[in-house]
Amino acid sequence: MEFDANRPVPGPPPGQQPVSDEAIADAVAGLDGLDRLPVADHVDRFDTVHIALTAALASIDKV
């Protein structure tokens, strides 16, 4: 199979901005310093990161 530069390829739906890696990186950055926190505080930190990741990833489909 030859590469055809004129053939359309999959991409984000028209009119939508893809989620930037920065949004995901910012969410995951919430785990920075986790090793210095008491284990009892990990759940709150994980919940915060989960909420941020959910928001970043949900914006892909505008859910």
Q: What are phi and psi of 4, to 5 degrees?
A: -120, 105
Q: How far apart are CA 33 and CA 39, in angstroms?
A: 12
pLDDT in tens, 3-62: 787 887 776 666 655 556 788 888 899 999 999 999 999 999 999 999 999 988 887 766
- Kindly report the pTM of this predicted structure: 0.60
pLDDT in tens, 17-34: 555 678 888 889 999 999
Structural domain boundaries in the chain: 21-61
